[in-house]
Amino acid sequence: MTRPPRVAVVGAGVAGAGVASALGESALEVTVLERDDVAGGRTATHRRDGCRYDIGANYLSDGSERVSELVRTLDDGDLVDIGASVWTFDADGRISPGDEARADDHRWTFEGGLATLPRRLLERSGATVRTGCSVTSLEYASDEGRWIVDLGGEETNATAENLDADAVVLTPPGPATASILEASVDGSEESESQPQSTFQSQPQSQPQFQALAEAARSTPYRSVHSFALHYPFDLERPFYALVNTDREHPVGWVAREGEKRGHVPEGETLLIAQMASDWSVTHRSTPAADAAREAAARVAALLEDDRLADPDWTDLVEWRDALPDTDPDADADAETTGTDRLRGAESAGLFVASDCTHGRGRIHAALERGLTVGDRIRESFGSDRSH
Ligand SMILES: Cc1cc2nc3c(=O)[nH]c(=O)nc-3n(C[C@H](O)[C@H](O)[C@H](O)COP(=O)(O)OP(=O)(O)OC[C@H]3O[C@@H](n4cnc5c(N)ncnc54)[C@H](O)[C@@H]3O)c2cc1C
C-alpha cells in the first residue's frame, strides 16, 4: 500500500488553519508546524483576572460567501456579533460618527476570543498540529521530489526529527517567510536521472529560493504596539471603537472590549489601544511600563477622561510585522506584483499563503487565501474529498 501524500503547513494562524480546513476529509496527511506554544498567530486572545481580550486582530468582518458560511459552521453558540459602531478621529483628536455606508457591517468574534477561529478550524480539520516548532529552512531533494522541513528550533530536543513532506505551505508574514526561503537549499544528490515527485507526474524544476525570498520581502509591513488597559470602573460611550483615518495621530485604534459578550466583567473597562506604526517603531526599546503609561495618557486625552491615564493593569504585545502596509480593504481582486513570483515554485510543491502575497491584512482574507491554497494542493494531488 502506498503512503498518503504528506503536506507540511508552516504557521497555525488563520491562513494555516484555512489550508488545513480545505485539506480536511482528503486523503492527504497534513501536519501544521507552529513556532509559538499556541495556535492563532495574529488572532491572539489573552486572559487575565476574569477578562478575555483580543490583543491582535480585534474582529472578523464578512468575507466571501465561502468564508462567512465556514465561520457560521464553527459557531457553537459562542459567535459574537459586536454590533456597535466604529467612529473615527483625526490628527487633532476630533471624533466623528463612523461611515454610515459601513454601519451594517458585521464584526465578529467569539466569547472565547478571536483565537477560537483558527483553533476550532484546526481541531475540525483532523490535521496534526505541532506547537513549539520553529521552521528554519527547507531542503528540496529534487531527485526524489521530496521536501525536508528543518525544525532548527527543536534541535536541542533529542527526540525531534525534521519532517519529510511532498508539499510545503509557508504562511508567516513576508519577512519571516523570506527568512525561511533565504536559508533553504537544493538538497538533491548529483544524479543523471530525471527528478521524480509524488507531487506531480512531471519532472520538477528547482525552486528559485532567492527570487522567492525577494518577492516575499518586497511587501512592506507596519508595526503595531497593542496595549490592553484595564480599569476598575465602567466607561459608557456611544461607540464600540474609534479609528484614526488620516494616520496622523499616535493612536491608531481604541476599542471597548466590554462590548464583546463574555470578555469583560460588569463594572470594569478594558480598552485595546493600538498605536500608529511610527509611534510603535520609535518605542521599540522603551520599557513596557513606560510605553503603557504614555499610551494611556494619549488615550485619556483622546477620550477626554483623565481617569484613563491611570490603568490598574496593562498588557502589551509588540507586533513587529503586524499588517502589510497597504489598504487592507482594497479590492479583493487587486493582486500585488509579488503574487505571481511567489507562485513560481508550486509545480515543485512549494506554496506561499502569507499575506505578503496580496497585501491585505484581514482575517477573512487570510482564511480565503488558506482555503484557496488548500484547494490548489488537493487538486494537484488529485485528492477529492472522501465524503
Ligand atoms: C494589531 C493587529 C490588529 C489587527 N486587526 C485586525 C482586525 O481587527 N480585523 C482583521 O480582519 N484583521 C486584523 N488584523 C490582521 C489579521 O490579524 C491578519 O491578517 C491575520 O490574522 C493573518 O493571519 P495569517 O495566518 O496570514 O498570519 P499569522 O496570524 O501571522 O500566522 C502565521 C503563523 O506562523 C507562525 N510562524 C512564524 N514563523 C514561523 C516559523 N519559522 N516556524 C513556524 N511557525 C512560524 C507564527 O507564530 C504565526 O502563528 C490585525 C493584525 C494585527 C497585528
Residue 376 belongs to domain with CATH number: 3.50.50.60
Ligand 1 geometric centre to CA of 41 (Å): 5
**Which atom of ligand 1 is the closest one to the Cα of 322?**
53
The predicted structure's pLDDT at residue 191: 46
Residue 304 belongs to domain with CATH number: 3.90.660.10
**Which atom of ligand 1 is the closest one to the Cα of 360?**
19
Same domain membership, residue 247 and residue 309: yes
CA-proximal residue: ligand 1, atom 4 (nearest) = 57
Per the domain annotation, does 174 fall within a domain? yes
Same domain membership, residue 125 and residue 15: yes
The predicted structure's pLDDT at residue 382: 85
Domain count, the chain: 2
Same domain membership, residue 314 and residue 171: no
Q: What pLDDT, in 10s, does the model give residues 159-210?
A: 457 899 999 999 999 999 999 999 998 876 544 445 555 555 444 567 899 9
The predicted structure's pLDDT at residue 157: 45
Per the structure, the complete domain to which residue 254 belongs is given by: 48-59+81-105+220-324
Residue 39 and residue 49 in contact, taking contact as beta carbons nearer than 8 Å: no
The predicted structure's pLDDT at residue 326: 75
Same domain membership, residue 318 and residue 182: no
The predicted structure's pLDDT at residue 327: 62
From 35, 42, 315, give the residue whose CB has the most ligand 1 atoms within 8 Å, as the site to mutate.
42
Q: Dihedrals φ, ψ of 207, to 5°? A: -65, 140
Per the domain annotation, does 31 fall within a domain? yes
The predicted structure's pLDDT at residue 104: 57
Per the domain annotation, does 73 fall within a domain? no
Same domain membership, residue 312 and residue 334: no
* Closest listed residue to residue 87, CA positions, set 97, 79, 76, 77: 97
Same domain membership, residue 186 and residue 128: yes
The predicted structure's pLDDT at residue 185: 86
CA-proximal residue: ligand 1, atom 51 (nearest) = 57
Per the domain annotation, does 67 fall within a domain? no
**Which atom of ligand 1 is the closest one to the Cα of 42?**
29
CA-proximal residue: ligand 1, atom 13 (nearest) = 57
For residue 378, is it left (φ>0), alpha (ψ between -120 and 50) or beta?
A: alpha
Same domain membership, residue 157 and residue 32: yes
Question: Which of residues 324, 349, 367 is at a domain's end?
Answer: 324
Ligand 1 geometric centre to CA of 332 (Å): 18
Same domain membership, residue 203 and residue 161: yes
Same domain membership, residue 258 and residue 165: no
3-class secondary-structure state, position 26? coil
CA-proximal residue: ligand 1, atom 7 (nearest) = 57
For residue 236, is it left (φ>0), alpha (ψ between -120 and 50) or beta?
A: beta
Q: Crossing angle for the helix pair 174-182 and 209-217, nearest 10 degrees?
A: 160
Beta-bridge partner residues of 273? 227, 254
Give the binding-site residues of ligand 1, using a 6 Å CB cut-off: 10-16, 33-36, 41-43, 56-61, 133-135, 171-173, 176, 180, 224, 226, 274, 319, 322-323, 355, 361-363, 366
Same domain membership, residue 284 and residue 366: no
In angstroms, the Cα distances linking 59 to 35, 39, 62, 340 are 23, 17, 10, 30
Name the strands in the sheet holding 86-89, side by side, starting at the edge strand that comes first in the sequence: 95-96, 86-89, 241-244, 251-256, 269-275, 221-231, 313-324
Same domain membership, residue 136 and residue 26: yes
Per the domain annotation, does 66 fall within a domain? no
The predicted structure's pLDDT at residue 328: 55
Identify the segments of the chain with pLDDT beneath 70. Answer: 1, 99-104, 153-160, 188-205, 327-340, 384-387
Ligand 1 geometric centre to CA of 63 (Å): 17
In the block, which residue shows the cell 543523471? 192
Question: Which of residues 282, 308, 324 is at a domain's end?
Answer: 324
Question: Which of residues 296, 324, 352 is at a domain's end?
Answer: 324
Query: Which pairing describes strands 163-165 and 146-150: parallel, antiparallel, or unpaired?
Result: antiparallel
Ligand 1 geometric centre to CA of 57 (Å): 8
Per the domain annotation, does 173 fall within a domain? yes
Ligand 1 geometric centre to CA of 31 (Å): 19
Beta-bridge partner residues of 96? 88
Same domain membership, residue 313 and residue 226: yes
Identify the H or E element spanning 254.
Answer: strand 251-256
Per the domain annotation, does 187 fall within a domain? yes
The predicted structure's pLDDT at residue 293: 98
Q: How many CB atoms lie within 10 A of CB 46?
A: 15
Ligand 1 geometric centre to CA of 197 (Å): 32
Beta-bridge partner residues of 170? 10, 352
Per the domain annotation, does 64 fall within a domain? no
Q: What is the DSSP string of 139-202?
A: EEETTTTEEEEE-GGGTTSTT---EEESEEEE-S-HHHHHHHHHT-EE-PPP-SSPP--SS-SS
